[in-house]
Structure 1
Amino acid sequence: MKTILTAALFCVGLGSAATAATINFSDFDEGDILGLDADLGGGVIADIAAIGGVAEAVVFDTDRGTVSTGNDPDLTSPFTNAEDSNDRRAFGNALIVQENATGGPDDVVGGSLIFSFDSLWSFASVFLLDAEVGTSATLFNGTDEVASFTLDRTNESETGGNPNNNEFTLLGFADAVGDTLRIDFAGSGALGEFEVSAVPLPAGFPLLIAGLGAFAWMRRRQQAA
C-alpha cells in the first residue's frame, strides 16, 4: 500500500509541475562534441546528430576572442536581434556543425543539427546565430511536423562579413510540443539556445493511477482473506 501511495503522489507531482529550462550549452567546454545521450541540463536529454562537414555537433564559444572567434568572427558576441536593433545580447556557448577535423571550432557552410529527445517537451523559442535566408527550424512529434520556420529577408541574421554587426534570429514556437528538433542551415550559422518546459500529465491521470493501485490492493486483500 505504501508503494502504491508513493507512486500516486509521484504522479501527482509530475502532473502539477512544469519544469522550464533554457538550453544554452553553458555546461560544456569549447570544442566538446555532443552526441548520444547528451545531458543538456534542466532534465533535458537528447541524442544529437550533425549532417555536413565532419558530421559533428561541436560547442563554439562566442565570447572567446581566440581560436573560435578567430576562425569565425561572425559568431562573436554580442549579437543584435535581426528584427529589433534595440535587442542586443551575448550568447556564450553555441552549437555548430563542425567544418574541419583540425583547426578548432568552425561552422560549416550548410549543414544540419538534429536533436532527438528522450521525452516530449514544450518549445517556447529557438535562437539562431548568423543564419542565412533559407535556414529552417522544424519541430516534430514522432513523424508529425508540429511547427516549422524558414528564414526570409525579414528575419535572416547573416552577418555578411561585418563582425561589428553580428545578428541573431528569434523564433517563437508558441509552446508547440515535440520530441525532435531539426535545424537546417542554408549557409554558415549556429544554434545559440532554446527554451523548453516539461509537458505535464493530464490532470486526471494521477487519480487514475491512484485508483488502479487502490483497486489492486483491495483485490489482494480479498484473495488473502
Structure 2
Amino acid sequence: MKKLFATALFCTVFASAASAVTINFEDFDEGDVLGIGTDLGGGILADVTAIGGIAQAVVFDTASGTVSAGNDPDLTSPFTNAEDSSDRRGFGNALIVQENATGGPDDVVGGSLIFNFDALWSFASLFLLDAEVGTSATLFNGSDEVASFTLDRSNESETGSNPNNNEFTLLGFAGAVGDTLRIDFAGSGALGEFELSAVPLPAAFSLLLAGLGGLVLVRRRQTA
C-alpha cells in the first residue's frame, strides 16, 4: 500500500508541476506555415488557423538581418516590456498572420491567430510583440470564455518603425484552463511565445486517494 501511495503521489506531482511547456516556435524554420495537426513541441498538438491576409499562420524570425526583420523592422529583437523598461529580452521565432503570398514573412495589418488544442491545458503567460491598442487574447474552454485580455494605452506595445525601440506585452493567464486560444490583432503584431501546463489527471487523484486509504488501513492493523 505504501508503494501505491508513493506511485499516486508521484503521478499527481508529475501531472501538475512537471509538464510546463513554453511554445516559442524555435523548432520551426522562418517562413514555415503552421496548420492542422501542428506539433508545437512537448507533446502539444493543435490545429492552427489564421484569419486575414492570405489566411496563413507563418513563422517570423525576429533576429536582425533576416528576411522577416527586413520586411517588418517593428518585429526585430530585442524587445522592451511595455510596462517595465528595465525588462528587455530577445525572441527568436514568432508567429504572424501572413500578408502576401510572396516576399517572405510579413505580418498583415489586423488579423487573427487561432489554436484549437487536442486537450485541455492550463495557461500561464503569453507574449505579444508590437501589438496595438484593441488587440485581444482570449482563452476558451469549449464555447465558454475563461480568460480574456484587451490591450489599452497602459500595455500596448506598438512603437512605430524604430527597430531600436520595439516592445512586447506580457499577459498573465494565472492557470486558466482551456482548449482554444484566439488572438485578434487590431493592427500589425505577432505572437512571441506562450507557456502552458498539463491539467492534473483525475486518475492520478483517484490513485492518490486509494493509496491514502490503503495506508490508513495498514496502520490500523498494525496498532490493533
- State if a TM-score over 0.5 links the two structures: yes
The AA in structure 1 aligned to 2:48 is: I
2:207 aligned with 1:206:
yes
The AA in structure 1 aligned to 2:35 is: G
Q: Which residue of 2 aligns with 1:99?
A: 99
Change (3 A) 1:88 1:207: closer
Q: Which residue of 1 aligns with 2:125?
A: 125
Q: Distance in 2 between matches of 1:204 and 1:34?
A: 35
For residue 12 of structure 1, report the CA deviation from its aligned partner: 7.3
TM-score (norm 1): 0.85
Change (3 A) 1:113 1:199: same
For residue 66 of structure 1, report the CA deviation from its aligned partner: 2.9
Q: Distance in 2 between matches of 1:168 and 1:89?
A: 9
Superposed CA deviations along residues 37-71 of structure 1, whole A, max 9, x for unmatched, are: 11111111100000000000000000141311110
Alpha-carbon RMSD across the aligned residues, in angstroms, is 2.0
For residue 162 of structure 1, report the CA deviation from its aligned partner: 1.7
Q: Which residue of 2 aligns with 1:172?
A: 172
The AA in structure 2 aligned to 1:16 is: V
The AA in structure 2 aligned to 1:179 is: D
Structure 1 residues without counterparts, runs of 5 or longer: 1-8, 211-225
Structure 1 segments, 4+ long, off by >4 Å, are 11-14, 207-210
Q: Distance in 1 between matches of 2:163 and 2:141?
A: 37
Map of 1:71-90 to 2, 5 A cutoff? 71-90=71-90
For residue 208 of structure 1, report the CA deviation from its aligned partner: 8.3
| Identity among equivalent pairs (%) | 80
SS of equivalent to 1:204: helix
**Matched pairs, number:** 203
Superposed CA deviations along residues 138-158 of structure 1, whole A, max 9, x for unmatched, are: 000010000000000000000
TM-score (norm 2): 0.85
Structure 2 residues without counterparts, runs of 5 or longer: 1-6, 212-224
Q: Distance in 2 between matches of 1:148 and 1:200?
A: 23
